[in-house]
Amino acid sequence: MHLESIRLVQYKNYTKAQVDFSPQINCFLGDNGSGKTNLLDAVFYLSFTKSADQAQDLQCIKHDHDFFSIKGQFAQDGKKRVVLCANQVGKKKQIKLDDKPYKKASEHIGRFPAVLIAPNDTDVIRGTSEDRRKFFDAIISQVDQRYLNNLIAYNHALKQRNSLLKQFAEDDRFDKDLLEPFTRKLIELGMLIYEVRKDFIEQFKPMLLKHYATLSSKKELVEIVYESDFQGNIEWAFADSLKKDLILKRSNKGTHKDEFVFVMDDQPVKKFGSQGQQKSYLIALKLANFDFLKERLKVKPILLLDDIFDKLDDQRIEKLMAMVASEAFGQIFVTDARPERSISIFNKIKQEHRFFNVVNGEVQLRESKT
């Protein structure tokens, strides 16, 4: 599977753009703010039906316009597949595959898998437990539609239970029988989510360890520790937390409180890892993400690398590029604000690669070599 071409209309800083890609390596070169990341984000949007860096779709519309569209043509299993994503102010977002609309955008997730490595991904390392849950939920949801549905249902039940707790506080009353069905729903759905996450981490962990060992030349030992309320007596945990829930007006137990602790040499990476070590850990996480999707979906995801050279020393860059040059990966998209660096790196790689100059929302093919 690979993306053959993309057409943008009024997406972020692009008025119109049509770009044809190499099935192997594509490198977007240009100054910061020129639109390199926006082009990469449009590819991401075709896979996930949302932007990687904008929470609201309307924020992706070019200034002083009222709609955007992204159209991508994929080659998949010997067929041409066309994905259209469009959004207009005041109207429902459109997601179509081969001109047929989906009933729900979630039905599209996993059909054209992609893995993004971007600078703000360090939130996965340095951010909150919610950032880490979202990271792993996004991976699992691409291979397990039932998990995604259970996650959506759990979050809906959580919202309802929290709303009821707030209502109790406002009315200065408490009705245990009214709260119980929502508590039961969180326990039932939470157990299903917990079991999938637990099994996933056991499969994912060896992939992470392998990639970090390669990137770091085995300088550090890494680990993931999964922590959940469901590892104990969850019904007792909910009952014990009820008083706290009523005071704080929110649910304090459940899988929405799960944590994934990233460890390096027996210390939390978040607190004790250097910038280079944190970046290496993140890249190893993302490459493990790639391996997991490839193994489960039997297809090589598109790999999106946004400004990945920053904070990496020469040795780790060399290791990463050796991995990229291997047959393990499929189509790759890279952004770099230093053209001479990427040109030097990729001209040493045997795979076909294309360089694109990006200037103020315009894209031009610079060079193509095999």
CA nearest to 151, candidates 187, 124, 190, 180: 190
Q: How confident is the model at residue 312 (pLDDT cuts 50, 70, 90)?
A: low
Domain 126-272 indexed as CATH 1.10.3720.10: no
Give CB contacts under 8 A, 24+ apart, made by 271-278: 273/125, 275/311, 276/311, 276/312, 276/313, 276/316, 277/216, 277/220, 278/122, 278/125, 278/126, 278/311
What DSSP state is assigned to residue 97?
E
Query: Domain ranges in the chain?
Result: 1-113+299-370, 126-272
19 three-state secondary structure: strand
* pTM, to two decimals: 0.82
Q: Give residue-wise pLDDT tens across range 128-168.
A: 999 999 999 999 998 999 999 999 999 999 999 999 999 99
At the fourth CATH level, which superfamily is domain 1-113+299-370?
Answer: P-loop containing nucleotide triphosphate hydrolases (3.40.50.300)
Helix (H) or strand (E) holding 305: strand 302-306
Query: Tokens representing 97?
Result: 């595959």
Query: Tokens representing 79?
Result: 């067929």
Q: Give residue-wise pLDDT tens across range 296-311.
A: 999 999 999 898 776 6
Q: How confident is the model at residue 255 (pLDDT cuts 50, 70, 90)?
A: very high
Q: How confident is the model at residue 370 (pLDDT cuts 50, 70, 90)?
A: very low
Q: Give residue-wise pLDDT tens across range 192-223.
A: 999 999 999 999 999 999 989 888 777 788 99
* Terminal-to-terminal C-alpha distance of the chain: 19
Per-residue pLDDT at 320 exceeds 50: yes
